Chains A and B, each alone.
Chain A
Amino acid sequence: MIAWALPMAANAQAADQGVIERGAYLARVGDCVACHTAPDGKEYTGGLAIESPFGTIYSSNITPDKQTGIGDYSEEQFARAVRDGVRADGAHLYPAMPYPSYAKTTDADIHALYVYFMHGVEPVNHRPEQTDLNFPFNQRWAIAMWNWLFTEDEVFQPDPNRSDQLNRGAYLVEGLGHCGSCHTPRGFAQQLKGFDASDEDYLAGADLNDWLAPALRGKGESGRGVVDWSEQDIVDLLATGRNAYTAVSGEMTSVVANSTSHLNDQDIHAIAAYLKSIPAHTGQAGGSASKAASPDKSDIAESGTEAKLASARDLSEGERLYLDNCNACHFTDGKGAGHIFPMLDGNSLVNADNPTGLIHTILAGAEMPSTPKAPESVSMPGFAWRLSDQEVADIATFVRGAWSNDAAAVTADQVAEVRKTLPEHSFSVSPGYRSTGRDQQPTSGEQLKGGAPVEDDQ
């Protein structure tokens, strides 16, 4: 009896292990950890403060702890929470949880996620800060109305006219990957304007906390960003946070670090193929099809900027500051170096209507994520300590009009506003003197004591 039962138990466990691993992988795709972990907290224990137009929303503990987590959830309740945004007690989750996208997740994948969160995650007893919005946003029942108006709750249906790869890509992008949460513009009620490629607003680019989440619609002749990239360029960016043109910045840095860099090659290629299959259109943010900029193309404006910088004569203030501060890495042609220094010519962040992301990058610097395939976190130092608001404005204005770029000028007031938002530690530091700690007392006037070796103040 015992001899018969043991191998069965072992098999069951092995099967479970496979499901747990698949669930763990899907949790990577969904990037659950990004929102459900506080800056210094344990994984999945919640408490991250998410700024929304309605107030601060705190994420919940999704470890299988029975008291403070989701340990008492049945698989059905879990599915309701992930796909419909409804808690076990029936209350509605705020749509900071991307359930409008997760709704597309298949039953099999929900099952794997459930098994992973129940058996692959350590239960942690921790009650994070509770969300407490002001009226009327504390009326969670109203979310039901919002859901009815603005969300679709259908599980993903493969399109028989598309290849398996494109269907897989669409499933990942539209569903767990929830790319649209940031890259699709939102309407008057903060609802996403589209959930799949059939809608022309879908992935058309959006402003995310003043930072450009560029258009991801990649099929077209020429433009800026994804539309000009090859499938491999997209794969590179998702796998390593950098490609021949640019590097990720802002929120996308954490998405690459926590999620996309862990996906298998097949899935990343499926995502890239799907994005390249969605037609771009003029007017999409950070990728309008009329603006040309690529490594092979040049026009008079580009060579004009390059020649001016190379001659280093009769420079405007912006040009001079570019040579003194930026040229070391981004070069006179504004093309940087692939996978190392982002190209400024044609860069979607540089050309964004809202210059906040560019200003922030100049002030605070940037750091690429360290990924399994590209571990080096190449970083740009911040210049907040070195440049005045006016100087940052001059540089930003220059690069937004240099080469083939054509974005509006930036003012010192705009820079001052961004500078106010920076925490002090995000400032790069100057290579000055560090205090040794023991030099707090003035040491001037230390005297020799009778010719004996000096007792230094060590």
Chain B
Amino acid sequence: MSSMPDDEQRRDFMRRSLTLIPAVSLGSGVTLTASAAEEPPALADYQPSFFNTDEWQFILAACDQLIPSDEHGPGALETNVPIFIDKELYGPFGHADRWYMQGPFITDGDPELGYQLPYTPRELYRHGIAAVERYCQQEHDKAFSALDAATRDDILGRLEQDKIDFAALDAAPLTAGVFFSFLWQNIREGYFADPIYGGNKHMGAWKMIGFTGARANFREWVEQHNVPYPLGPVSLSGERG
């Protein structure tokens, strides 16, 4: 044979692959799951693996504030986003397992240099939450989770704009802006990632935006015009939404 497919075969394959995300290998370093579509836990019953009780209250409140439940779809609490973040920090990401974590740490360099703190994400969260709680105690004499929605919004806005001085709160070299960017990034990940990672319970976020999930190939739909796609999403574990 010619071990290379001839042009026609190659073209045929390319055509067939156009709308396909190959699911040929699902990666390594992962664990065996005994049963696939386990019912996700209720958030109220969940025992965090990484966060302590006070931190957990902060995460719950921040998630609820940043992606609230509304007429468009479920919120971050309904979709177990805090569980996603807890698992994420408990696992390799939390330990910065695959990051270069040696100095020098150039904190005043160009943003192109990327993340420049000596903290793993676990440490970053621990310092960041502690700083915000200190700030809330100083300003309002209450924990973040005990504040009303408008005040929480205001504080999250200040964090985002880097307007809370973390150095004065004993958290340098961490800054409010960096902490918020991690928090917001991880909340969005938990909201939209496959439910197998703990968040996006019952694919609530996917249903809201009309994403079809891990079905991987929609070749037969390329030429069906003005026909609504009839199927809901499917998750990596095979759950249907």
Contact = CB atoms under 8 A, between A and B. Distances in A.
B217 A433 contact: no
Given A385-B33, A434-B91, A442-B49, A323 B215 contact: yes
Interface in A424-453: 424, 427-436, 438-439, 442-448, 451, 453
Contact of A386 (B5, B36, B91, B194): B36
A309 B224 CA distance: 13
A430 B12 contact: no
Interface in A283-310: 309-310
Interface in B31-55: 31-34, 36, 47-53
Given A239-B3, A324-B234, A328-B216, A436 B36 contact: no
Contact of B215 (A328, A431, A445, A458): A328
Contact of A443 (B34, B90, B118, B120): B90
A374 interface: yes
A107 interface: no
B29 interface: yes
Nearest to B29: A434
A373 interface: yes
Contacts of A240: 1, 3
Counting contact residues on chain B (CB < 8 A from A), the size range is: 35 or more
A338 B4 CA distance: 11
Contacts of B29: 434
Contact of B122 (A424, A445, A456): A456
Nearest to B120: A456
B150 interface: no
Contacts of B90: 433, 439, 443
Contacts of B30: 429-434
Contacts of A324: 215, 234, 238, 240
B91 A379 contact: no
A325 interface: yes
A381 B27 CA distance: 10
A431 B32 contact: no
B1 A340 contact: no
Given A329-B22, A454-B127, A433 B91 contact: yes
B1 A435 contact: no
B17 A337 contact: yes
Interface residues of A, number: 60
Given A240-B1, A310-B224, A331-B16, A424 B26 contact: no
B221 to A, nearest CB: 8
B20 A328 contact: yes
A378 B24 contact: yes
A312 interface: yes
B105 interface: no
Interface in A238-281: 239-240, 243-244
B201 interface: no
A391 B37 CA distance: 13
Contacts of A435: 31
B141 interface: no
Interface in A369-387: 373-374, 378-381, 385-387
B24 A431 contact: no
Given A239-B3, A337-B16, A436-B92, A454 B32 contact: no
Nearest to B126: A454
Contacts of A434: 29-31, 91-92
Contact of B1 (A236, A381, A386): A236
B119 interface: yes
A139 B52 CA distance: 71
A239 B21 CA distance: 28
Contacts of B230: 311-313
B118 A381 contact: no
Contact of A337 (B13, B91, B92, B220): B13
Contacts of B123: 453-454, 456
Contact of B236 (A379, A431, A439): A431
A332 to B, nearest CB: 5
A93 interface: no
Given A385-B32, A434-B29, A453-B118, A309 B220 contact: yes
B155 interface: no
Q: Which of B52, B170, B219, B238 has the most CB of A within 10 A?
A: B238
A180 to B, nearest CB: 24
B31 A433 contact: yes
Contact of B130 (A332, A339, A430, A448): A448
B24 A312 contact: no
Nearest to A341: B16
Contacts of A438: 95
A179 interface: no
Interface in A408-433: 424, 427-433
Interface string A351-377: 000000000000000000000011000
28 contacts: A232-B1, A240-B1, A244-B9, A309-B220, A312-B229, A323-B231, A328-B216, A328-B217, A329-B24, A338-B5, A379-B25, A381-B25, A386-B36, A387-B238, A430-B33, A430-B196, A431-B27, A431-B30, A431-B194, A431-B196, A432-B33, A432-B196, A432-B197, A442-B49, A444-B51, A448-B126, A453-B127, A458-B120
Interface of B: 1, 3, 5, 9, 12-13, 16-17, 20-27, 29-34, 36, 47-53, 87, 90-92, 95, 97, 118-120, 122-123, 126-127, 130, 170, 194, 196-197, 215-217, 219-221, 224, 229-231, 234, 236-238, 240
Interface of A: 232, 235-236, 239-240, 243-244, 309-313, 320, 323-325, 327-329, 331-332, 337-340, 373-374, 378-381, 385-387, 391, 424, 427-436, 438-439, 442-448, 451, 453-454, 456, 458
Name the 3 nearest CB pairs between A and B, nearest first: A328-B216, A373-B3, A310-B220
Given A239-B1, A328-B21, A453-B123, 12 more contacts: A309-B220, A310-B221, A312-B230, A328-B216, A339-B5, A374-B3, A379-B24, A429-B30, A429-B32, A453-B118, A453-B127, A454-B123
